[in-house]
Chains A and B, each alone.
Chain A
Amino acid sequence: MKDTVAPYTTADGRQIGDVLMDMRGITLRFGGVEAIKDISFDIREGEIRAIIGPNGAGKSSMLNVISGFYNPQDGEVWFRGAKRPPMKPYQVARQGIARTFQNIALFDGMSVLDNIMTGRLTHMKSGLLAQAVWKGRAEREEVENRAVVERIIDFLEIQAIRKTPVGRLPYGLKKRVELARALAAEPKLLLLDEPMAGMNVEEKEDMSRFILDVNDEFGTTIALIEHDMGVVMDLSDRVVVMDYGRKIGDGTPSEVRNNQEVIDAYLGVAHD
Chain B
Amino acid sequence: MLYREAGDFKTSYAADSQTFPIKFDRWRYWVVLAVAWLVIPFFINDYWANAILVPFLIYAIAAIGLNILTGYCGQVSLGTGGFMAVGAYSVYKLMTSFPDVSILIHVVLAGFITAAVGAAFGLPSLRIKGFYLAVATLAAQFFLVWLFNKVPWFYNYSASGQISAPERFIGNIAVTGAETTPWAQYLICLFFVTLCALLARNLTRGSLGRQWMAIRDMDIAAEIIGVDPLKAKLTAFAVSSFFIGIAGALFFAVYLGAVEVGEAFGIQKSFLVLFMCIIGGLGSIFGSFAGAAFLVLLPVALKVLGVDILGWPSSTVAHLQLVAVGGLIMFFLIKEPHGLAQLWRVAKEKLRMWPFPY
Residues of A at the B interface (CB closer than 8 Å) are: 67, 69, 88-90, 92-94, 98-99, 101, 105-110, 114, 117-122, 124, 126, 128, 131-134, 138-139, 141-143, 146-147, 150, 181-182, 185
Map CB proximity to A onto B1-26 as digits: 1 under 8 Å, 0 otherwise.
00000000000111011000000000
- Interchain residue pairs A-B with the least CB separation, the first 3: A107-B217, A105-B221, A93-B226
Cβ–Cβ contact A98 & B225, under 8 A:
yes
Neighbour of B13 across the interface among A110, A114, A143, CB < 8 A: A143
Neighbour of A89 across the interface among B14, B207, B218, B224, CB < 8 A: B224
Give the residue name and chain of the A residue nearest to B208 (CB). A131
Give the residue name and chain of the A residue nearest to B211 (CB). A121
Q: How far is the CB of B253 from chain A (nearest CB, A)?
A: 24
Cβ–Cβ contact A93 & B225, under 8 A:
yes
Cβ–Cβ contact A99 & B202, under 8 A:
no
Residue B328 lies at the interface, judged by CB distance under 8 Å to chain A: no
Give the residue name and chain of the A residue nearest to B217 (CB). A107
Spot the interface stretch: B153-161, B177-185, B227-235, B288-296: B227-235
Neighbour of B225 across the interface among A128, A143, A181, CB < 8 A: A181
Cβ–Cβ contact A117 & B210, under 8 A:
yes
Cβ–Cβ contact B208 & A128, under 8 A:
yes
Cβ–Cβ contact B13 & A133, under 8 A:
no
Contact count band on B: 20 to 34
What would 18 A/B residue contacts be, using CB atoms closer than 8 Å? Answer: A67-B224, A90-B229, A93-B223, A98-B224, A105-B220, A105-B224, A108-B218, A114-B213, A118-B214, A119-B225, A121-B225, A128-B239, A131-B207, A133-B202, A142-B14, A142-B205, A181-B225, A182-B225
CB contacts (< 8 Å) of A182 on chain B: these are 225
Bound Cα distance A93, B206 (Å): 20
Cβ–Cβ contact B14 & A107, under 8 A:
no
CB contacts (< 8 Å) of B208 on chain A: these are 128, 131
Give the residue name and chain of the B residue nearest to A143 (CB). B13
Cβ–Cβ contact B218 & A138, under 8 A:
no
Residue B269 lies at the interface, judged by CB distance under 8 Å to chain A: no
Give the residue name and chain of the B residue nearest to A139 (CB). B14
Give the residue name and chain of the A residue nearest to B204 (CB). A131
Cβ–Cβ contact B13 & A94, under 8 A:
no
Cβ–Cβ contact A143 & B226, under 8 A:
no
CB contacts (< 8 Å) of B221 on chain A: these are 101, 105-107
Bound Cα distance A89, B210 (Å): 18
| Residue of B202, B221, B222, B235 with most partner-chain A CB within 10 A | B221
Cβ–Cβ contact A106 & B207, under 8 A:
no
Cβ–Cβ contact A150 & B235, under 8 A:
no
Cβ–Cβ contact B203 & A143, under 8 A:
no
Cβ–Cβ contact B218 & A106, under 8 A:
yes
Cβ–Cβ contact B206 & A109, under 8 A:
no
Given A131-B208, A143-B13: A122 touches B226 (CB 8 Å cut-off): yes
CB contacts (< 8 Å) of B216 on chain A: these are 107, 109
- Given contacts A69-B220, A101-B221, A107-B214, list 15 more A-B pairs with CB under 8 A: A88-B228, A90-B228, A107-B213, A108-B217, A114-B213, A117-B210, A121-B225, A122-B225, A122-B226, A128-B239, A132-B199, A138-B206, A142-B207, A143-B13, A146-B16
